[in-house]
Homo-oligomer: A and B are copies of this chain.
Amino acid sequence: MENEIEIIDFILKNNAEAILEKLDDIHPVDFLEALSSYHGEAVEVLEKLPDDYIALLIDEAEDDEKYGLLSLFSQNRKNNIISEMSSDELVDLLRNIDEDEKESIILKMDKEDAKEVKELLEYDPDSAGGIMATEFLSVKDNMTVDEVIKFLRDNAPDSETPYYIYVLDDYDVLKGVVPLRDIVISDAQTIVKDIMIEKVITVPVQMDQEDVGNIFDKYGFMAVPVTDDFGVMLGIITIDDIVEILKDEHTEDLYRLAGLDESEKISGSVKSSIKSRLPWLIVNLGTAILAAATVSLFENTIEKIVALATFMPIVAGMGGNAGTQTLTMIIRGIALGELNFENEKEVLKKEILVGLVNGTCLGIIVATLGLLWVGNPVFGLVIGIAMFLNLVIATIAGYFVPLILKKINVDPALASGVFVTTVTDVLGFFFFLGLATLMINFLI
């Protein structure tokens, strides 16, 4: 294996033919890495590469770097490179540049491609339509295997996934699919109709990308056709895109739960990190002030029994932990499609029971702790009951908050945490300090 410097060196020193042969063995991802550690002018290296390899490099580059690569070239080469790119990757590039640049690129494309790209740009970027590619192999059901192979020889290199061949009727309605391996192992005179799989699982063009990911996970497909309401095949989604989407959705979930902007990068700038985190901290400050205001209602009681201040963080904190457990379960259940109309009630019943049992166990533990620490059984009772109530409320809030957010179309991962901890903080303090106020005569 060569190291990165050698790759770049080879390109600079050799002619087109030698480069072409060399590139067969260099994955575009590795080439991009080599290029990023090269200190000279990138354009001098890139200009020696063929158009189709540059299209591959742009395909593999990060979304926000794609246009930078393309704009290194003359207008003429730009057009050639764009015509080599797959439609879904071109759309990703166009989504990341400003309107004027987008228009000028589309204007220079040939008419049919331009129309296709414009249509793709209309779809929600997070929907099946927004991630599909329009390049796929389609044949008619009366063709023979031999005819299909001839067709593949003429067309395959342009298509994104050559593992399935789709069978369409005259109106482009999807009739069936033939895996490439069945083409290889069938006799030349076999008719497509006889070997195609007729019941094809498809995804509707509006489907959310996370649900598309769940279908890939469920069935283990390599690619899935995308159809409109009439069964007309519009494009395909391949599993390599799904792996990237799953990774991004995962990062987004984790980040949103923690109050980070999903665009924050670990090696990003200080400024972008502050922009990602400070607003969320200020939102949380708001909820912390609500909790503080609750405590301030009971300052008189705390003045008389200062041990309450010591135990305050326990009740509120444990409620927050229990609420987070439930809401994480629910958010994941929603994302994986495991929580649905059929089991919603069952799950609620289970969560309440779990809250009751965990609340009872922890209530007894902290009641004992309170009794031993302060030496007053009523103190133990007050903190035990407050803990019990807060844990039950925590599981109920952890259940309802994400579901309600989902119903009003807010991402549950984004806002559930702050709502649930507000509930558990405010009510935790309220139960504990309120009960103590009621029982104050037994506590002094």
Tell me whether B309 and A295 are in contact (CB under 8 A): yes
* Interface check A259, CB cutoff 8 A: yes
Q: A239-B239, A239-B240, A314-B288 are in contact. Are A325 and B152 (CB under 8 A)?
A: no
Q: A277-B325, A309-B299 are in contact. Are A285 and B365 (CB under 8 A)?
A: yes
Tell me whether B321 and A26 are in contact (CB under 8 A): no
Q: Which of A265-294 contact B (CB under 8 A)?
A: 265-270, 273-274, 277-278, 280-282, 284-285, 288-289, 291-293
Q: A243-B246, A281-B362, A328-B260 are in contact. Are A266 and B198 (CB under 8 A)?
A: no
- Chain A count of residues within 8 A CB distance of the other chain: 116
Query: A156, A258, A362: which has the most chain B beta carbons within 10 Å?
Result: A258
* Interface check A247, CB cutoff 8 A: yes
Interchain CA distance A152-B25 in the complex, whole Å: 25
Interchain CA distance A313-B183 in the complex, whole Å: 68
* Interface check A438, CB cutoff 8 A: no
Q: Which of A417-444 contact B (CB under 8 A)?
A: 425, 429
Q: A156-B184, A222-B240 are in contact. Are A328 and B216 (CB under 8 A)?
A: no
Q: Which of A145-190 contact B (CB under 8 A)?
A: 149, 152-153, 156-157, 162-163, 179-181, 183-185
CB of A133 to closest CB in B, whole Å = 13
Q: Which of A178-236 contact B (CB under 8 A)?
A: 179-181, 183-185, 197-199, 201, 213, 216-222
* Interface check A333, CB cutoff 8 A: yes
Tell me whether B332 and A317 are in contact (CB under 8 A): no
Hey, which bits of chain A sit against chain B, CB under 8 A? 1, 24-27, 29, 60, 149, 152-153, 156-157, 162-163, 179-181, 183-185, 197-199, 201, 213, 216-222, 239-240, 242-244, 246-247, 250-251, 253-255, 257-260, 264-270, 273-274, 277-278, 280-282, 284-285, 288-289, 291-293, 295-296, 299, 302-303, 306-314, 316-318, 321-322, 324-325, 327-333, 336, 338-339, 343, 346-347, 350-351, 353-354, 357-358, 361-362, 365-366, 369, 425, 429
Q: List 7 A-B contacts (CB under 8 A).
A: A25-B198, A152-B185, A162-B184, A243-B246, A255-B328, A285-B318, A292-B314
